[in-house]
Amino acid sequence: MIKSDYGHFDVPFYEQKLNNGLKVLFVPTKRGLESAMVYVSQGGYLHDEKIEESKIPFGTASYVSKMVMDRDFRETLLAHEAYGEEKSDLSYTYFQVTSPKGILAPLSLLMSRLYDMDFREENLEEIKKSNFDQGEKVLRAQKECLRNLYSSSPIRMGVLPTREESVPIHVTALRKFLQRYYVPSRVTLIVAADWTPKECMENIRSLRLPRESATGNKELLFDEDYKNVPQAYRSEKAKDGDIFVYGVKFAPRQEIFEKYGQLMFMAYEVLGDMLFVRNPSFQESLRGLNSDLLSFRFEEGGEDTCLLLTFSTKTPVALEDFLVGYFHGLEKKVDRRFFHAQIEDQVARSLERMRNARTLIKLFASAYANNLPYPSLLTMLTRMSYKSFLQFLRTIAEYPHSSFFLREEKE
């Protein structure tokens, strides 16, 4: 295995690619807790119009992950003293198992589950019914804002399907999606365990590994206008509560990278905290507007990138006016002292998370979508200059914005 070591972070890691194309990323740990992840480099962003002549509905990726890590399988893992979880993002999907009793047996169960998967229609319908217990109102508002921002790009659908979007999804689509994307060339095993590199490879080869399978597909083609948005503002009525979502539509990924290079990845890592979540002036202004920031979402899929801010508010017009002004002067919202303090804080929090095998692997997964080892990203972050970050903020301020208000319907 090839070793990499950013010594000042004390997180050496090893990488190797198997003959079948499957990649292994191994982080040795002696802290007791062990964790392993099956990382699939395909998430909810639609790349295919059809797979093997069948139309694949939006939301298929999300339901594949939920079916794999369903309640019964989580209980099976618990019986082996392991905790299982899954996530489907726009760019990737992962399945993670964590245990204080050794990770090989739970990982073996997961790999067998993935590649002996028998999707059943009745199980899918059961998961559909349990998928909308909470948060559907917020999901709806965020998706409506995305539709304001984008005219044709798949990112306008978001990651999670609504109740209505889930109706046309059947197990045939799940099987074809798994056959196309859950193959060695798209899979990385990320492991944090008390093994040697030699033991790691021996253990990996003992698992039920995937096989490559050729599938035909018709690529999804679209033409998006990145300098404009279809609608700048829109509102609808809701039965309970007010939700306001403000979105920013970034330029295509390649265009940003050509201008800023790896600075874009460093800036993305701290953008939310620096400008919104931990920014004192932003939070103080929200209190004055009788508004609360519910979430900050930064989404990347294909060539698309967007930022979504979700609020509860009783003053949507005043909040919109504040946000428009805030973005127009974005580079003035972060002074030098605050910038360096936030970088130091981000590094400290990341180092703390890297001491736990479960969160360590999640950090590696978050950076892996951009082909960066997380310690490398953290190293670059410590070297990011204040001047270059402000220039990046000036660029973001020029991107088109839109918003959506889901207002409470008065009886």
Consecutive 10-residue averages of pLDDT for the chain (411 residues): 79 91 93 93 88 88 92 95 94 95 95 89 87 72 94 91 88 90 93 95 92 83 93 84 92 94 92 94 95 93 94 93 94 94 94 93 90 89 94 95 87 55
pLDDT at 7: 62
Cβ pair 59, 165 in contact under 8 A: yes
pLDDT at 317: 92
Strands 54-55 and 233-238: unpaired
- Domains of the chain and any CATH numbers: 2-219 (3.30.830.10), 233-408 (3.30.830.10)
CA–CA gap between residue 142 and residue 405 (Å, rounded):
10
CA–CA gap between residue 39 and residue 95 (Å, rounded):
7
pLDDT at 212: 80
48-51, strands of its sheet edge to edge: 54-55, 48-51, 217-219
pLDDT at 240: 65
pLDDT at 359: 95
DSSP per residue over 154-200, as a string?
GGGG-SS--HHHHTT--HHHHHHHHHHHSSGGGEEEEEEES--HHHH
From the list 22, 394, 334, 79, the residue with the least C-alpha distance to 207 is 22
CA–CA gap between residue 408 and residue 236 (Å, rounded):
9
**Position of tokens 């998706």?**
143
From the list 180, 179, 178, 188, the residue with the least C-alpha distance to 20 is 188
**pTM of the predicted protein model:** 0.91
CA–CA gap between residue 381 and residue 384 (Å, rounded):
5
DSSP state of 215: -
**Position of tokens 């090893």?**
14
pLDDT at 133: 55
Torsion sign, CA atoms 8, 98, 353, 297? positive
State the Cα angle at 350 between 349 and 353, rounded to 5°: 90
